[in-house]
Chains A and B, each alone.
Chain A
Amino acid sequence: MKKILLACAGGFSTSMLVERMKEAARTQGIEVVIDAVAESDIADQTPFDIIMLGPQMGHAEGDLAAEYANIPVTTIDMLDYGMMDGAKVLSTALELMEKGA
């Protein structure tokens, strides 16, 4: 199963978004693993298929993209993040994973 990893400073606000994304996945019948961590803990995670950063951590995108060159690394859109739009972020994630890095 594909795994989406969200990361922000402490993994707090992203974990709120994760709950909404899971809800969206459930209602749409999509099977996917979604998790939120602190940016500094990304390396400790089991394999994942995409990294999505909270906009406040957008500055880490370049370095992470270089480190995880074979998967998509992206920063979540500010408004989607603010409105905690789980469905929208989920569809972005699925699209990007489809396209690949």
Chain B
Amino acid sequence: MAAGGVEWRAKIQKVSTKIQKNTYISAISNGLMALMPILILGAIFSLINALKLEPYQNFLESTGLKTYTSIPATITTDLIALYAVFSIAYNFATQHKQQGFSAGILALMSFLLVTPKGLLEDGVTKAFGYSWLGAKGLFVAIILALIVGKIYTFVLEKKFYIKMPKGVPPTVEKSFAALTPGFIIAVLVLVLTAIFGATKYGNMHEFVFSIIQLPLTSLGGTWWAMLICIFVIHLLWFFGVHGTLVVYSVVGPIWVALGLENLDAYQRGVEGTHIIGSPFFPVYVLIGGAGATLGLIIAMLFAKSTRYKTLGKLAIVPSLIGVNEPVIFGMPLVLNVRFMIPFIVTPLVSSGLAILLTTLGILPVLHGIQVPLGIPVLVNGWMNGGWRVSAFQLVMIGASFLIYYPFFKKADAEALEQEQQAEIKAAATAAAN
């Protein structure tokens, strides 16, 4: 297995690199990743604004603070598509070594171009509705950012713009160079707007939402899609590849959209409808990191061998915030057939049970709060659904301990024997001298 494993590892690494290095995929995932500060701020303010404690809510209402605590959530998560379209186009262009800023604002302009606008009741005030600027507009944002990014970089790379006669300052030429893709993009997006306007959908948003976003998110939001993702992620990790990163770059946009819809519901005081969304993963799968290894690390703290005891002490603190590379590579869990079963089964058990209990209404649907790395397990659960989620996480830490323990016990005994033999050998050499 070992030699074959290494061979497989090389093959899997190649495929993973291809997926991750794909400029479209990495522009989307890096672009969304760059929105983290906004998503986290929005989530935290949602929590501050909507925390279900009656005296606290009364306090907010009576002091008039409620008017203000509701603002940040609105301008962060409710406008997420606006931030995303800029960020993704920016990332796409910089990856092609072109100016990200110009691509970003052109993409933002295109997005506003296709978004329906209208007049308010007074008949004079022009307005954009919020409905397409948040989670519902996320896929149009992604598509437009990529189209604009592609046209922008293509035009500049192929130098497909009006050349200035000699003697014109280079700065002027540069601004014309950026103008050309701008015109092409504006005209194309206008044409797109007209075409979608002529269909029964009325605009690009309605079309993309019902033809692409809705089917994709309902597919990606199913329990079996989640379990397949978890399986693939851990299989990749088994071969030493950062599986979370690879899989997330593909399904991330779907989970983010679902999570944001839940957050929107939470903000309005109702429970979200999507069991699976962006926080599902850190809350229910990564209990202690990939492989839900927190229970294993606790077992290591009681190890008989020095080796695992040292590793356990080293790994416990980072693991509480989901960073468990020390165990993955120090145990190691990579290419280690003995631990393959618990490594894949533990996160599947935890997420499977979470899905089941949420369906039964025993666990709440998660609020959709994007928890930053650094927020420890139990706290991230509490933030996303209160004490019931934390209690479930606690039970799953125990389950992780029980599932890993039989496998760990053997590994620990072997390590102990090796250590004792090394000691005997050392003592013998010392005596001989």
A63 CA / B17 CA spacing, docked (Å):
9
Is the beta-carbon distance between B17 and A82 smaller than 8 angstroms?
no
Interface string of B57-101 (1 = CB under 8 A from A): 000000000000000000000000000000000000000000000
B328, chain A: closest CB distance, angstroms: 7
- B331 at the A interface (CB under 8 A): yes
Is the beta-carbon distance between B334 and A84 smaller than 8 angstroms?
no
Interface string of A1-21 (1 = CB under 8 A from B): 000000011101100100000
Segment 307-342 of B: residues with Cβ below 8 Å from A: 310-311, 314, 318, 323, 325-332, 334
- B373 at the A interface (CB under 8 A): yes
Interface string of B1-31 (1 = CB under 8 A from A): 0000000000001101100110000100010
Q: Of B20, B327, B330, which contacts A79 at CB under 8 A?
A: B330
Is the beta-carbon distance between A78 and B16 smaller than 8 angstroms?
no
Most buried by A among B14, B325, B328: B325
A79 CA / B327 CA spacing, docked (Å):
10
Q: Which residues of A contact B326 (CB under 8 A)?
A: 13, 16, 81-84
- B107 at the A interface (CB under 8 A): no
B278, chain A: closest CB distance, angstroms: 16
A57 CA / B21 CA spacing, docked (Å):
12
Closest Cβ neighbor of A40 among chain B residues: B30
Interface residue stretch chosen among B214-222, B237-245, B297-305, B360-368: B237-245
A50, chain B: closest CB distance, angstroms: 20
Interface string of B271-299 (1 = CB under 8 A from A): 00000000000000000000000000000
A55 CA / B240 CA spacing, docked (Å):
7
Is the beta-carbon distance between B329 and A78 smaller than 8 angstroms?
yes
Chain A interface residue count, Cβ-Cβ cutoff 8 angstroms = 22
Is the beta-carbon distance between A56 and B330 smaller than 8 angstroms?
no
Is the beta-carbon distance between A81 and B241 smaller than 8 angstroms?
no
Q: Of B242, B244, B331, B373, which contacts A82 at CB under 8 A?
A: B331
Q: Which residues of B contact A59 (CB under 8 A)?
A: 13-14, 16-17, 20, 241
Most buried by A among B242, B327, B331: B242
Q: Which residues of A contact B20 (CB under 8 A)?
A: 59
A54 CA / B240 CA spacing, docked (Å):
10
Q: Which residues of A contact B323 (CB under 8 A)?
A: 12-13, 16
A18 CA / B30 CA spacing, docked (Å):
24
Q: Of A9, A16, A79, which contacts B329 at CB under 8 A?
A: A79
User: B interface, by DSSP: helix, strand, loop or mixed?
Assistant: helix
Is the beta-carbon distance between B314 and A83 smaller than 8 angstroms?
yes
Q: Which residues of B contact A83 (CB under 8 A)?
A: 310-311, 314, 326, 330
Q: Which residues of A contact B373 (CB under 8 A)?
A: 10, 12
A58 CA / B14 CA spacing, docked (Å):
10
A36, chain B: closest CB distance, angstroms: 12
Q: Which residues of B contact A58 (CB under 8 A)?
A: 13, 240-241
Q: Of A62, A63, A82, which contacts B332 at CB under 8 A?
A: A82
Closest Cβ neighbor of A16 among chain B residues: B318
Is the beta-carbon distance between A57 and B318 smaller than 8 angstroms?
no
A97 CA / B401 CA spacing, docked (Å):
43
Is the beta-carbon distance between A56 and B21 smaller than 8 angstroms?
no
Closest Cβ neighbor of A82 among chain B residues: B330
- A65 at the B interface (CB under 8 A): no
A69 CA / B386 CA spacing, docked (Å):
52
Closest Cβ neighbor of A80 among chain B residues: B329
Q: Which residues of B contact A54 (CB under 8 A)?
A: 325
Knowing A57-B242, A79-B330 are in contact, say whether A63-B21 is a contact too (CB < 8 A): yes
Closest Cβ neighbor of A41 among chain B residues: B30
- A60 at the B interface (CB under 8 A): yes
A60 CA / B394 CA spacing, docked (Å):
36
Q: Which residues of B contact A16 (CB under 8 A)?
A: 318, 323, 326
Q: Which residues of B contact A9 (CB under 8 A)?
A: 242, 244-245
Interface string of B229-251 (1 = CB under 8 A from A): 00000000100111011000000
30 A-B pairs within 8 Å (CB atoms) are namely A9-B244, A9-B245, A10-B373, A12-B373, A13-B325, A16-B318, A16-B326, A40-B30, A55-B329, A56-B237, A56-B240, A56-B241, A56-B325, A56-B328, A56-B329, A58-B13, A59-B14, A59-B16, A59-B17, A59-B20, A63-B17, A63-B21, A78-B334, A81-B329, A82-B326, A82-B330, A82-B332, A83-B310, A83-B330, A84-B326
Query: Interface residues, chain A, CB within 8 Å of chain B?
Result: 8-10, 12-13, 16, 40, 54-60, 62-63, 78-79, 81-84
Extra inter-chain contacts (20) besides given A13-B323, A56-B325, CB under 8 Å: A13-B318, A13-B326, A16-B323, A16-B326, A56-B240, A56-B241, A56-B328, A56-B329, A59-B17, A62-B17, A78-B240, A78-B332, A78-B334, A79-B330, A79-B332, A81-B325, A81-B330, A82-B326, A83-B311, A83-B326
What 4 pairs across the A-B complex have the smallest Cβ distances? A82-B330, A82-B329, A59-B13, A13-B325
